[in-house]
Amino acid sequence: MEKTEKIYIAGHRGMVGSAIKRNLESKGYTNLICLTHSELDLTDQQAVNEFFESEKPEYVFLAAAKVGGILANSTYPAEFIYDNLMIEANIIHAAHIYGVKKLLFLGSSCIYPKFAPQPMKEEYLLTGELESTNEAYAVAKIAGIRLCKHYNQQYGTNFISVMPTNLYGPNDNFDLETSHVMPALIRKFHEAKINNESKVTIWGSGSPKREFLHVDDMADACIYLMENYDYADIGEFVNIGVGKDLSIKELAELIKDVVGYEGDIVYDSSKPDGTPRKLLDVSKLNGLGWTSSIGLKEGIKATYRWYVGN
């Protein structure tokens, strides 16, 4: 990518899109196109086609998606599958029609089977049943990966896909009804500290294990891949993560320490745990020359500072 070439970031106000935008700006890219939902509804095929026809972006980062945690995914599955299918189908098709040089599609580690061997290698895709609580979102993301694959196959496009692990950082969603585990815990411990509450209750048993990647690391990996590798080098998709995990219980203790909360932690085992373990095998990414650089405690501290400040 040349520094002056036109780059469209779909979803630039979300956690991932905003991190990609920050990273591109820091590297000297000057021709970024960013539109809000009110300016361009990505579920509207005609509007998307008109945008691509008039702007003709040369590179596309497809970070726009409807996202949420266990509660949101299981409450609104129809919205999660419909909105995500429409967004990715409209953008990927328009990228083909209007001659985009390269597109990067962002998937999610929930695409893997619920009981996939750990750590999860790229070839485990579609080898077993999905986790039921986020199946709708996972099916949409799998469809996005396969759209890229088959457009490349049929039309010779250069659309690459990446599968990030659990992300956290600035511009995350801290709404307790719809957020993922990391921002939910940061908010819970912060509010418990402010309100002098004696305990914090956490969903599930605390035993599931999760891997966490700071969103600025994620953005750096995406841009590294866009600058250096094509679909022919990467194949269907590449995992992006840190390659190590910890239990929700360990995560809670870490966040409690960073926030400075001194009460007790209680686990509500009547609530769902989700997938028992989700750890990505990142040997393919490491082999391409990229590794994460932001440590978990350092990343949580920075995210907590951002949360308090915003």
Q: pLDDT tens, 87-119?
A: 999 999 999 999 999 999 999 888 999 889 999
Task: Find out whether 188 is annotated in a ligand binding site.
Answer: yes
Task: Find out whether 85 is annotated in a ligand binding site.
Answer: no
Strand 32-33 with 264-268, pairing: unpaired
Provide the mean pLDDT of the chain. 95
Q: What is the pLDDT of residues 151-199, one digit of tens each?
A: 999 999 999 999 999 999 999 989 987 788 999 999 999 999 999 999 9
Picking from 177, 159, 144, 204, the residue whose alpha carbon sits closest to that of residue 73 is 177
SS3 annotation, 231-260: HHHHCCCEEECCCCCEEHHHHHHHHHHHHC
Partnered with residue 277 across adjacent β-strands are: 209
- Which residues are CB-contacts of 127 (< 8 A; sequence separation ≥ 6)? 113, 116
Picking from 100, 144, 106, the residue whose alpha carbon sits closest to that of residue 7 is 100
Q: What is the pLDDT of residues 49-76, one digit of tens each?
A: 999 999 999 999 999 998 877 777 888 8
E strands, the chain, are 7-10, 32-33, 59-62, 102-106, 159-164, 166-168, 199-203, 209-210, 212-214, 238-240, 246-247, 264-268, 277-278
How far apart CA 31 and CA 238 sit, in angstroms, is 27
Work out the average pLDDT over 244-265. 97
Lowest mean pLDDT segment, chosen from 140-154, 203-217, 266-280: 266-280
Q: Give the type of residue at 190.
A: H
How far apart CA 59 and CA 33 sit, in angstroms, is 10
- Looking at residue 276, its pLDDT comes to 83
- Looking at residue 74, its pLDDT comes to 83
Picking from 60, 140, 107, the residue whose alpha carbon sits closest to that of residue 236 is 107
Q: What domains can you pick out in the chain, each with its CATH number? A: 7-169+212-242+279-294 (3.40.50.720)
- Looking at residue 3, its pLDDT comes to 96
Task: Find out whether 203 is annotated in a ligand binding site.
Answer: yes
- Looking at residue 11, its pLDDT comes to 96
Residue with tokens 């819970």: 188
Residue with tokens 């630039």: 12
Known catalytic residues are 137
Q: Six-digit token pair at 146?
A: 């396969």
- Which residues are CB-contacts of 219 (< 8 A; sequence separation ≥ 6)? 16, 19, 20, 22, 23
Task: Find out whether 141 is annotated in a ligand binding site.
Answer: yes
